[in-house]
Structure 1
Amino acid sequence: MDSSDTVVVGRIGRPHGVRGEVTVEVRTDEPDLRFAPGAVLRTEPAERGPLTVAGRRWHREVLLLQIEGVDSREAAETLRDTELHVPVVELPVLDDPDVFYDHQLVGLTARSLDGSVLGEVVAVRHEGADLLVVRRGEGGELLVPFVTAIVPTVDLAGGCLVVDPPEGLLDL
């Protein structure tokens, strides 16, 4: 599987109960769509899938999935830590020009206002606020809050974004 063709929508956690349900760490804004019964999900590692959702329910704040062919706690345990992927082409088009999917940002060159290269965006973290992880050319990483005041320009076609850092952000 080429990871550039898919995006992660979840990760299977521990089994729940004895009938094969699994907990899912949700990594999508549309869990009801992505994990609908009948949905087919690619997996990483690839040899564990594809998996077809047989059922879905919420238990408090935790998503529980029943996967076709998984009917015991032991079978569910073999899926622990499996990433769940969907093809990029299945993602809906974003209408807002200031909203981006994570996979669109990863790989962009981060530049300062004067055009100098800060590094490459290698990941997006969602830890209360969205943070761009920028790998610096001389080593190390820079965490950049992904807000308009600090990242005023995202040029997907040009392969870059502009960072207007507050004082101290670029200090290692």
Structure 2
Amino acid sequence: MDLVIGRVAKTHGVRGELVVDVRTDDPDQRFAVGTRLIGRAPKGAGENEYEVAAARPHAGRLLLSLAGVNDRGAADALRGTLFVIDAAAVDSGDDPDEFYDHELEGLPVTTVDGTAVGVLESVLHLPGGEVLAVRAADGREILVPFVREIVPTVTRDGIEIDPPTGLIDLDAAASERD
């Protein structure tokens, strides 16, 4: 499985610089000069390898120069490209409150009283915060805000949620099937 560490949002200037939305907690290491990046073109148009020539922060994003990408036209062709790394190459470490999305996907989700809710399908990174997309046994998608008040326990063995009244209604889904 691959992890996305950045996405080309647009070009910057006429010399081939790329504006990259960073999706890693260690951009200094992942986008260091000389680093080789795997770029996945949008809509499955293939993968290419690139070498970082320069990188600098700019307005909450990263301005990236790649070897061989020297003009606006070449940079425009990379718009939407995802830079990825192999998930096996990273580990969230020993901090019990730190996880990568891929470490959580597929974990069982239960309520604090032990009621099965479903399986974590993905973690959505939205402007308002992170949301857990849980696939219930009946096939429904349940969206759970990923905040400590609602998701008090996360381990590598499972996720416990304490949903407020009305966030999820497991009984209603069962009675709809009857």
1:64 Cα deviation from its structure 2 partner: 0.9
Q: Partner residue of 1:21?
A: 17
Q: TM-score, normalised on structure 2?
A: 0.81
Pair 1:149-2:145 in alignment: no
Give the alignment of 1:54-133 within 5 angstroms: 54-91=53-90, 93-126=92-125, 127-133=127-133
1:48–1:79: 8 Å Cα contact kept in structure 2?
no
- CA RMSD, 1 decimal: 2.2
Looking at structure 1, the residues matched to 106 and 82 of structure 2 have their Cα atoms a distance apart, in angstroms, of: 21
Aligned with 1:34 (options 21, 30, 36):
30
Deviation at 1:95, TM superposition (A): 2.8
User: What 5-or-longer segments of structure 1 have no aligned partner?
Assistant: none
Whole-angstrom CA distance in 2 between matches of 1:96 and 1:62: 27
Distance 1:17 1:101 in 2: 34
* Secondary structure of 1:76's aligned partner: helix
Paired residue total = 166
Q: Distance in 1 between matches of 2:58 and 2:154?
A: 38
What's the offset of the Cα at 1:114? 4.3
Post-superposition Cα deviations, 1:3-48, rounded to whole Å, max 9, x if no partner, equal x2x2111111111111111110111122122111111222324733
Please identify the structure whose Cα radius of gyration is greater: 2
Percent identity over the alignment? 45
Q: Which runs of 5+ in 2 are unaligned?
A: 174-178
Contact 2:7 2:81 in 1 (8 A): yes
